[in-house]
């Protein structure tokens, strides 16, 4: 059975953002069906569908809704449209081309959670998308899909758009809540979870745009259709993004479980590499989830490739389970960026480290300091004054920040750790080789131009002495060969 | 970003900068029913104030604090946390260039160099004629069109250093093709009954 896209069926159609076009294609029928059910049945349905959050963490939406206390008076629904994870853009595509699908999803989720007000937190850089969404919302209000007594069901829901102002951390659910309350977007310590005490101290549900856009289709096409798509643990369609030097960069919908190779080379997806470039590495789920090797992977220590035993990691299936087998954190946002063979990975390391250093909110010490520390080390390696011990320091640093090691409030440092650690670990041989081939004098001069800290580095002939990994002791400068 | 410390005890009147007009404050007040708390109006208020003045002056921050019934420090806290807000005058058009991984792979670095060469300004700086400001941001979520940049609200896709002259010379380079919503806009200047312009 050929897969029929549902989330992206209107993308590229002229006039797809208008209510008339959306209704002509069966729009708001899912919501009408939902409003005839009881909220509890609706939560049960979404639980049975095993709709897992599309925003990155993959937490089942139905389960999240069922954590709300039963005797609540006020419930808030927050829609997370603060899409900032490089290189993700699926929410942008969805809002740009089909805002009513999101609004219908909000109506369904709002009814299921008995929400009184829905806030759409859209990132500040989405200016055009804000105007499109606001116009769609005005249309929906005029047609009676929001406001009082929606479609004669007696259910009231206010929906309001709130614009962010440029902060990656506001995509974290409690960071989003803090930001919505008018404060800086510092994530909160959990528990209490937002379901119990969230926005304005009331029970709150935070869902991603794509998660909500799935809801109308579950209702109109039914549970059986939904469960027939995807793999055993990951159900439903997913919007995959592919960017970088491929022939067809863009957003494509496929059942969960698409392999990374298919996403890059499939004629319906990335369409292969541009100009015959070869893949060196892929970040398959946003930067935070870690990196896959795209070249052959010499497992034997001398670096000799054995074609039978060595493999690249592009067969990783992009669903909620398989990426863990490749040392990744999870599916993330299923947005892949391809790094070609021609790129120096030291530049990639700097770029990734800078992203997390800039976007760390500064609340937890080990994230605020650690990300900047790694950024400085990465700059030093790029400047040609790297030491072998730097790679060990990065590994050790990234192991000691984050929620998984129990030290941070939110998951941002985990993302930073996975991105940086997998990069250093999987491509260690390349970094070592770059460090080994640094010229003894020139790079140090260059490094001193960019980073004063390089003056304090003990470097002998461009490389540090080999050192047993995992300690912070500096290597004594070895001047005997100079 | 672009923060400059001012000793508030010795600050002179002109250092406080321009004030928000009553119309702008009314626009901010119109957001009150949308949220159960006053403080939640912070981001809309700052967006509107910045839209009205071009940046957030100290006086405007004090006005917002008074309006939202929060200490001025809370306003400053938000202003300095979010990258969107400027605390000194910015150009009429602000270029925001994406510098994340995909854009960097696809040649964003060259575009940045070309912009800075052409305008003669660095990051977070404004040209002397007050026309352009330049800054870089992490991912703008348009990676399929990398490298990309925003001029005010308009997203420019697949920018190359060669396109730059054409884009910067185009007077419509910050005009959106889709209809706008004025929800977050500052109120337009209107003519008063005395014939003067009231901002």
Indicate which CATH number applies to the domain containing B34. Answer: 1.10.10
Residue B42's closest chain A neighbor by CA? A182
- For the entire predicted model, the pTM comes to 0.89
Integer CA distances (angstroms), B115 to A194, B98, B112, B154, in order: 44, 13, 5, 17
CB nearest A125 (choices: B36, B44, B137): B137
> Is A200 in contact with B36 (CB distance < 8 Å)?
yes
B39 is a domain residue: yes
Asked, as a colleague might, if the bond just before A192 is cis with ω within 30 of 0, I would say: yes
B189 is a domain residue: no
Domain match, B102 and B69 both: no
Is the pLDDT score of A12 beyond 90? no
A92 half-sphere exposure, CB direction, 13 A CA radius? 27
Would the CB atoms of A250 and B144 count as touching at under 8 Å? yes
Q: Which of B53, B81, B109 is the last residue of a domain?
A: B81
Tokens at B174, concatenated = 């910050």
> Which of A55, A82, A86 has the highest number of chain B CBs within 10 A, making it the mutation to test binding with B?
A86
Degrees to nearest 5, angle at CA B9 with B8 and B11? 60
Band (pLDDT 50/70/90 cuts) for residue A459 is very low
CB nearest B178 (choices: A128, A241, A340): A128
Cβ–Cβ contact A284 with B under 8 A: no
Q: What is the pLDDT of residues A433-446, one digit of tens each?
A: 888 887 655 555 55
Scan residues 95-124 of A and list those with Cβ closer than 8 Å to B: 123-124
Mean pLDDT across the stretch A59-68? 92
DSSP A88: -
DSSP B125: E
Whole-angstrom distance, CA of residue A363 vs CA of residue A166: 17
Q: Cβ contacts (< 8 Å) between B102 and chain A: which residues?
A: 86-87, 243-244, 337
B58 is a domain residue: yes
Does residue A410 or residue B1 have the better pLDDT?
A: A410
Q: Which residues contact A120 (CB under 8 A, 6 or more apart)?
A: A79, A81, A102, A106, A133, A159, A160, A161, A162
Domain match, B32 and B100 both: no
What is the predicted pLDDT for the residue at B29?
A: 95
Whole-angstrom distance, CA of residue A102 vs CA of residue A212: 6
Whole-angstrom distance, CA of residue B131 vs CA of residue B142: 25
Q: Cβ contacts (< 8 Å) between B37 and chain A: which residues?
A: 181-182, 200
Domain match, B109 and B147 both: yes
Mean pLDDT across the stretch A161-190? 93
Residue intervals of chain A classified under CATH 3.10.20.600 are 237-342
Domain match, B77 and B97 both: no
Q: What's the domain count of chain B?
A: 2
Does residue A304 or residue A248 have the better pLDDT?
A: A248
Mean pLDDT across the stretch A280-289? 92
Is the pLDDT score of A208 beyond 90? yes
B155 is a domain residue: yes
Fold of A19-227: Rossmann fold (3.40.50)
Q: What is the pLDDT along chain B (199 residues), one digit of tens a residue?
A: 445 566 667 778 888 889 999 999 999 999 999 999 999 999 999 999 999 999 999 999 999 999 999 999 999 999 999 999 998 899 999 999 999 999 999 988 889 999 999 999 988 899 999 999 999 999 899 999 989 999 999 999 999 999 899 999 998 888 888 888 888 888 876 544 444 444 4
Domain match, B101 and B160 both: yes
Domain match, B76 and B114 both: no
Query: How close does chain B come to A239, measured CA to CA in Å?
Result: 14
> Is B55 in contact with B89 (CB distance < 8 Å)?
yes
Mean pLDDT across the stretch A81-88? 91
Range(s) of the domain holding residue B44: 14-81
Residue A167's closest chain B neighbor by CA? B82
Burial B106-121 (b: 16+ CB within 10 A, else e): bebbebbebbeeebeb
Q: Is A162 helix (H, G, I), strand (E, B) or coil?
A: strand
Q: Which of B81, B108, B124 is the last residue of a domain?
A: B81
Residue A170's closest chain B neighbor by CA? B82
CB nearest A86 (choices: B43, B138, B150): B138
Scan residues 186-215 of A and list those with Cβ closer than 8 Å to B: 200
B177 is a domain residue: no
Cβ–Cβ contact B77 with A under 8 A: yes
Whole-angstrom distance, CA of residue A284 vs CA of residue A244: 12
Strands A237-243 and A250-255: antiparallel
B136 is a domain residue: yes
Whole-angstrom distance, CA of residue B58 vs CA of residue B4: 11
B88 is a domain residue: no
CB nearest B101 (choices: A87, A160, A184): A87
Q: Which of B81, B102, B118 is the last residue of a domain?
A: B81
What is the predicted pLDDT for the residue at A1?
A: 53
Residue intervals of chain A classified under CATH 3.40.50.11540 are 19-227
> Is A171 in contact with B138 (CB distance < 8 Å)?
no
> Is A76 in contact with A204 (CB distance < 8 Å)?
yes
Cβ–Cβ contact A179 with B under 8 A: yes
Domain match, B102 and B154 both: yes
Q: Cβ contacts (< 8 Å) between B72 and chain A: which residues?
A: none
CB nearest B39 (choices: A126, A182, A245): A182
Band (pLDDT 50/70/90 cuts) for residue A380 is confident
Give the CATH number of the domain where residue B129 resides.
3.40.30.10
Would the CB atoms of A351 and B47 count as touching at under 8 Å? no
Would the CB atoms of A166 and B150 count as touching at under 8 Å? no
Mean pLDDT across the stretch A383-399? 88
CATH architecture of A237-342: Roll (3.10)
Look over chain A and give the mean of its residue pLDDT values, rounded to a whole number: 86
What is the predicted pLDDT for the residue at A38?
A: 93
Band (pLDDT 50/70/90 cuts) for residue A460 is very low
Q: How far is CA A44 from the centre of its chain?
A: 27
Would the CB atoms of A200 and B84 count as touching at under 8 Å? no
**Which among A172, A121, A162 is positioned nearest to A361, based on CA atoms?**
A172
Q: How far is CA A198 from the centre of its chain?
A: 22
Cβ–Cβ contact A271 with B under 8 A: no
Q: Is A80 helix (H, G, I), strand (E, B) or coil?
A: strand
**Which among A54, A59, A202, A205 is positioned nearest to A119, based on CA atoms?**
A205
3-state helix, strand, coil in chain A (%, to 5): 45, 15, 45
Q: Cβ contacts (< 8 Å) between A241 and chain B: which residues?
A: 143-144
């Amino acid at each position: 059975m050929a897969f029929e896209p549902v989330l992206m069926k209107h993308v590229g159609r002229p006039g797809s953002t208008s209510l008339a076009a959306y209704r002509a294609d069966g729009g708001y029928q899912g919501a009408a069906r939902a409003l005839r059910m009881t909220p509890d049945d609706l939560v049960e349905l979404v639980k049975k569908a095993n709709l897992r959050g599309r925003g990155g963490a993959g937490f089942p939406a139905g389960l999240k809704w069922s954590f709300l206390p039963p005797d609540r008076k006020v419930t808030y629904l927050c829609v997370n449209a603060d899409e900032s994870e490089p290189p993700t853009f699926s929410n942008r595509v969805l809002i740009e081309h089909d805002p009513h699908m999101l609004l219908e999803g909000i109506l369904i989720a709002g009814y299921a959670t008995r929400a009184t007000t829905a806030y759409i937190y859209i990132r500040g850089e989405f200016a055009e998308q804000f105007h499109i969404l606001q116009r769609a919302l005005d249309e929906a209000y005029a047609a009676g899909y929001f406001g009082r007594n929606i479609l004669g069901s007696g259910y009231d829901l206010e929906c309001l758009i709130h614009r962010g102002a440029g902060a990656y951390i506001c995509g974290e659910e409690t960071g989003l809540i803090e930001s919505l309350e008018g404060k800086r977007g510092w994530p909160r310590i959990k528990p209490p979870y937002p379901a119990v005490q969230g926005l304005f101290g009331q029970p709150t549900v935070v869902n991603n745009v794509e998660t909500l856009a799935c809801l109308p289709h579950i209702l109109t096409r039914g549970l059986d259709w939904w469960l027939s798509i995807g793999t055993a643990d990951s159900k439903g369609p997913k919007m995959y993004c592919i960017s970088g030097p491929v022939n067809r960069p863009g957003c494509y919908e496929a059942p969960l479980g698409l392999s990374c190779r298919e996403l890059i080379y499939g004629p319906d997806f990335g369409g292969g590499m541009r100009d015959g470039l070869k893949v060196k590495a892929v970040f398959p789920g946003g930067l935070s989830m870690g990196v896959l090797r795209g070249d052959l992977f010499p497992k034997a220590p001398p670096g000799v490739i054995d074609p039978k035993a060595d493999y690249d990691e592009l067969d990783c299936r992009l669903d909620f389970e398989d990426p863990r087998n490749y040392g990744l954190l999870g599916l993330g946002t299923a947005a892949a960026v391809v790094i070609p063979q021609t790129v120096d990975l030291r530049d990639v390391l700097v770029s990734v480290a800078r992203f997390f250093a800039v976007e760390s909110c500064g609340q937890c010490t080990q994230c605020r300091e650690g990300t900047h520390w790694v950024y400085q080390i990465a700059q030093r390696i790029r400047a040609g004054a790297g030491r072998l011990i730097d790679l060990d320091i990065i590994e050790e640093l990234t192991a000691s920040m984050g929620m998984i090691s129990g030290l941070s409030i939110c998951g941002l440092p985990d993302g930073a750790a996975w991105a940086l650690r997998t990069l250093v670990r999987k491509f260690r041989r390349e970094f070592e080789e770059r460090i080994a081939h640094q010229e003894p004098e020139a790079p140090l001069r260059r490094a001193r131009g960019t980073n004063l800290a390089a003056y304090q580095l003990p470097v002998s002939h461009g490389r540090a002495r080999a050192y047993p990994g995992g300690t912070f002791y500096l290597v004594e400068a070895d001047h005997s060969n100079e | 970003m672009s923060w400059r410390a001012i000793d508030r005890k010795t600050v002179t009147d002109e250092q406080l900068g321009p004030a928000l007009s009553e119309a702008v404050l009314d626009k901010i007040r119109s957001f009150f029913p949308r949220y159960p708390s006053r403080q939640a109006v912070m981001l809309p208020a700052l967006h509107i104030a910045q839209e009205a003045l071009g940046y957030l002056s100290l006086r405007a921050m004090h006005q917002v604090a008074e309006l939202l019934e929060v200490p001025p420090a809370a306003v400053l806290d938000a202003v300095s946390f979010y990258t969107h807000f400027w605390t000194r005058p910015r150009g009429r058009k602000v270029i925001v260039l994406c510098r994340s991984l995909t854009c960097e792979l696809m040649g964003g670095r060259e575009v940045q160099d070309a912009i800075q060469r052409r305008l003669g300004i660095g990051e977070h700086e404004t040209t002397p004629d007050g026309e352009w400001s330049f800054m870089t941001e992490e991912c703008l979520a348009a990676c399929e069109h990398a490298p990309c940049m925003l001029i005010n609200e308009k997203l420019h896709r697949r920018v190359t250093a060669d396109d730059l002259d054409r884009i910067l010379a185009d007077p419509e380079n910050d005009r959106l093709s889709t209809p706008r919503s004025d929800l977050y806009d500052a109120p337009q200047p209107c003519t008063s009954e005395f014939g003067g312009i009231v901002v």
